[in-house]
Chain A
C-alpha cells in the first residue's frame, strides 16, 4: 500500500447523534480513520463503545432518531453523510455490503436462501432469475458451503449457525463490494465454527481486493484477521495502529488495560495475574470531563481530568488519544508492566489433600422429547430422549478446580445442574463427601444444599429484580441459619465487602447495578452458606473482558481463602486454563478427555481437544493460527452417532472401529484419561 493511494473509505471527524426524549446524545464523537483497498481494519471495543453505531452510519442506517451530526464519510471520495436514501440504496449491497452478528435473525425466516441471495443480484445488476441463481450458487461454493445446491432450496432455520453465516458472507460478496462491513460476525458462533469462519474471512481477503471494516469486542479475533486496529472507548477512537504495533506496544492505557485482563490460553494457572480495569464504560449521555478514560485510568494525572486529549500521531502510523503516549513509548512501558506489583491473587496452593470431594459415576441426564407423531401420542412409540449427559464419570479432590469445557450442547451445563440437584439424574450416581446425592434438590438434606452452591451465567437473570441486593443475600443467610438474626445485616455487609462491593449496595435494586456487579452479588449469595464446593456455570461469558478479569480474580481469591472446591463450566479455554487445576473436555454428552491442565493444554491428545485448542483465537498477531479444523455440524443428541460420538467430524478417524465401538478409556498417567481409539503413541503426536 502506498501513501498516494486513495482510501476506499475515509471517515473524518464523524459524530453521530441520537435524539432521545431528554436531550441529544452523541453516541460517537470525533471518529477518524481510513480503509484502503484490500485492507482489513478492526474496530475494537467493549459493548456500548459506539463501534456498531460508527459502522451503521457508513451505510446511513441509524434509525429514525439517529443522524450524522458532524464530519464526513468519504466513500471513494464521495461524502455519504446524510445522503438521501435513494443515493445510498445504489451503494448498499453493491459497493458496500454487510455481514451481521446474529445470522439467524439477519435472514428472512420465510424466504428460501436462493431467493434471498438472488434478490441482491437482480436489484443491482438487473440479472434474470436464472443467471442470478447460477451466480448465487457460485457464491455459495466460494464460501465452501457444503451441499450448496441443497442449501439454495432451504429456509434459514434449516441451516446451522455456521452455515447461516456463510450464506450471509456469500450474500455480501455477490456484487463484488469495494467495502465490506462485518459486525461481530463470529460472536454468536461456537469456537470451532468461529475458527472455520475466520479462516474463510482471512482467505477471502487474499482472494478479493475488498476493504473490510471488522467490528468486534474480541482481541483474539482481530489479531487474526485485521491489518490495522482502531480501539474505541465510549464513542471515541483512543488508539489507532497497525495490528502488530498495537499488540507489541499499546500506547493508550485503555488498550493496555484490555490486554492485561485477557487470560492467556498458553499460560498455566498461577503464572499470570489478570488485571481488571476498575469502573465501567460511561454512558454517552453522562461522559466524564477531560479524558473520557480518566476515571478508570491508573496512569491518570491532574490535567487528564480537565482537558480532553486529541488523537495524536505518536509515531508514524500509530495514533493514540493520550497526553502521555510518548512517555509510555519512551519509557518503554509495556502492557504487561504494572504501575506497582498488585497483590498476588494467584493462590499459593494450600496443602494438597487426597480427600475426594465429589465422585460422579456413569451419570446420565436425559430429557424426554415431546412426541411429534400421532402414534406417539397414544404411547405406541418408544420414548425418545435428548441424551444431554451420557455416561460421564469423574472425581474431584478437595480444594482443586475442575474446568469443564466444550461447545454449546455438549452437556457441560447439564452436568453442573445435575451436581447441584437442579436436574434429576436419569441413571448413575453422585457422591459428595461420602454422601449419596443422586437425588434432585428437593430431596436433599439442608447440609448438602448448603455445601454445594452455584454461580450462574446470566448477570441479568441472576438476581430477582423485585428485591434489593441486601434482602436477597439476607434471605440465603436466614434460610441456612448462618448467623443469628440480629447479625444478619453485618454479615450481609461482610459478604458484600468480600466481593468488593460496599455497604451502600445493600439497598440497591439489581437494575441499578452493572453486569459485573450483579455477578459479584451472585457470588456473594453463593458463598453466604460457606459452601464446600461452588459450581460456576459460565460465570464470566456474558461480561465484557475488562469485567471478566475482575470476576475471575474474585473467584480465585475466594478459593484461596476458603479452600473451596470449584467446578468451572466454560466454553472459553483461556479462562479455564487461568482458573483450573484439572480440565474435562466434553463432546455431545460424553467425556473425551480429562486430566491435569498442564498435560492437556501443553499436549492435547484427544483429536477434539486438539481442534478446540487450535480454534481459540489468540491475541497475538505474530502467531500463525492454524491447526486442526472441524467440519460438519454437531449431530443431534437425540440420535447420537454410534461408537465414538466424535467420529462424524474427527479428522483422525481410523475407520470402522470408530463408528462401531465405544472408544476405550486410555490412562496416560497422572490422572490423564483419554477416550479414543487411537493408540497412545498416535495420541501423543497430536
Chain B
C-alpha cells in the first residue's frame, strides 16, 4: 500500500514536470505581443524590444523555464558575484512590497545605478533609505575591452551596464517610462521561482501573482466546496435510486434528467437559472455583481445561483456514473449469491451493492474534479464571481502570462492531487489493490 502510494507520487511528480513544460511552452514560447499588450498599440518597436528585454522574454526558453520554476536568484548571484536576498518591506502605501538586494561583503544590502556614466552603489540604511556611494572600482573589463558591470537595479532585475554606452533608451518602472542614457543593456528579472512560491509579477495588476491569487483561490474554494457538498450526495442518492430501479419509470426520469443537466454547457445552465429564477420568478437577485474580492459573503443569496449552476452539471454526470455502476453490480454474480443466500433486498443493497458500486463513482468524481474546475471558470464568468476562473480568464484575455501560468499550475496541482487522493481511496475500498 505504502509502496503503491509512493509509486503514484512519483508518477505524479513526473506528470507535473511534464505539465509545467507544456504550460510554459504554450504560454511563453509563442508569447507573441506580450509587450504590445502592456504598452498599447502606439509603442515603437524599440520600446517593445526594450520591454521584452526587461521582462527577460528575450532570453532562451530553457533558461526562462528554469528561472520560472526554480528562480533566477542563484543565477544572478553568480553573475554579479555576490549573494542576493529578497526582503519584504511595508512602508506607507506599499504593503508587503518585495525587494531584491545584493549582500555586500560587510553584510549591507546594496543596489546600483549609473548616473552620467558614474557607477553608484546604493547602500540600504536601517530606515529604508539608501546612501549613494560611488563605486568606480566596480567596473570590470571583458575580453573585447569593454568596461561593464553586472549588478542589481532598483526594479528587481539584475542589470548589465556598459560604461559610456547608452543601452536601452527606456526603462519601464512604477512611474511609467523613464528615459535615460545610462540605462542597462541587459536584464535578468529576479524571482524565487514557482517552486518557492514566487510566480512573478502580474503584468496586469503590477503586483506579485502569488499575492493576487490568494483571495481568488479562497473564493473559488468556497464556490467549489459548496457545489461539491450539494452535488455529490444528491447525485449519489439519485444514481443509486435509478440504478436499483433499472428500467422503471423513476429510473428513466432520473437518467434523462441526468443526461440533460450533464449535457448542457455550464453557461447555458447559468443563463437558464438567471432567466427563470431572476427574471421570471424574481426569487433571487438576477444580476449578481460582486464589487470586491470579499463581496461573496455580503449577501449569501448571491451565492445560490453560482453554486446551483456548478452543482447541476456535476450532478448529472456523477449520477449517470453511479447508476451505471449500481446496475452493473446488481447484475453481478456475487449479488446473485447474496440474493440466493436469502438476504433481504435491503441487506443485499446495503452490504453487498453499495460498497462495490461506489468504487467507480469515487474515482470518477475525483477524476472529474478538473471538469468541475473547468466548469468553475465558466460559472464564475457567468456570474462575475471573483475567483480563480475569472482571474485566469481575464489573464488569458490580457495575456498576463505569469498569472496564466501560476493560475494554471495551481489548478492542475489541485486536479492531480485529488486524483492521487482518489487512487488512495479507491485502493482502500478495493482489497484487490490493497493487498498486493
Contact = CB atoms under 8 A, between A and B. Distances in A.
Contact of A91 (B7, B247, B333, B342): B342
A478 interface: no
Contacts of A168: 337
Contacts of A353: none
Interface stretch (B97-105, B113-121, B177-185, B351-359): B351-359
Contact of B341 (A110, A157, A171): A171
B10 A119 contact: no
Nearest to A96: B340
Interface in A89-133: 89-94, 97-98, 100, 102, 105-111, 119-120, 123-124
Given A105-B332, A109-B356, A92 B339 contact: yes
A623 interface: no
Contacts of B344: 89, 123
Nearest to B335: A108
A108 B6 contact: no
Say which size band chain A's interface belongs to.
20 to 34
A374 B340 contact: no
Interface string A300-316: 00000000000000000
B430 interface: yes
A119 B356 contact: no
Given A110-B430, A155-B431, A374-B6, A119 B334 contact: no
B337 A85 contact: no
A374 B334 contact: no
Given A98-B340, A107-B334, A377 B345 contact: no
Contacts of A89: 342-344
A213 to B, nearest CB: 14
Given A91-B342, A106-B336, A64 B247 contact: yes
A158 interface: yes
Contacts of B355: 110-111
A157 B333 contact: no
B338 interface: yes
B3 interface: yes
A108 B435 contact: no
A85 B347 CA distance: 14
Given A89-B342, A98-B340, A108 B352 contact: yes
A144 interface: no
A108 B339 contact: no
A121 to B, nearest CB: 10
A93 B3 contact: no
Nearest to A91: B342
Nearest to B331: A63
Given A64-B247, A377-B7, A158 B435 contact: yes
A373 interface: yes
A372 B10 CA distance: 13
Contact of A97 (B340, B343, B356): B340
Given A106-B333, A107-B334, A93 B431 contact: no
A377 B7 CA distance: 8
A92 B345 contact: no
Contact of A157 (B6, B332, B432): B432
A59 interface: yes
A91 B343 CA distance: 10
B271 interface: no
Contact of A123 (B337, B342, B436): B342
Contacts of B432: 109, 155, 157
Interface string B423-436: 00000011110011
Contacts of B10: 374, 377
A601 B413 CA distance: 66
A59 B340 contact: yes
A158 B432 CA distance: 8
Interface string B402-436: 00000000000000000000000000011110011
Contacts of B334: 105-109
Contacts of A100: 333, 336-337
A61 interface: yes
Interface string A44-78: 00000000000000010100100000000000000
A85 B348 CA distance: 13
Interface in B233-290: 247
B85 to A, nearest CB: 37
A155 B435 CA distance: 9
A249 B352 CA distance: 48
A374 B7 contact: yes
Contacts of A94: 342
A92 B341 CA distance: 5
A110 B336 contact: no
B345 A85 contact: yes
A440 to B, nearest CB: 31
Given A109-B334, A155-B431, A93 B7 contact: no
13 contacts: A64-B247, A89-B342, A93-B341, A93-B342, A97-B341, A105-B333, A108-B334, A111-B352, A124-B342, A157-B435, A373-B3, A374-B6, A377-B10
Given A98-B337, A374-B3, 20 more contacts: A59-B340, A61-B340, A91-B342, A93-B341, A97-B340, A97-B341, A100-B333, A105-B332, A108-B352, A110-B355, A110-B359, A110-B429, A110-B431, A119-B338, A123-B347, A124-B342, A155-B431, A171-B341, A372-B436, A373-B3
Closest 3 A-B residue pairs measured CB to CB? A93-B342, A93-B341, A92-B342
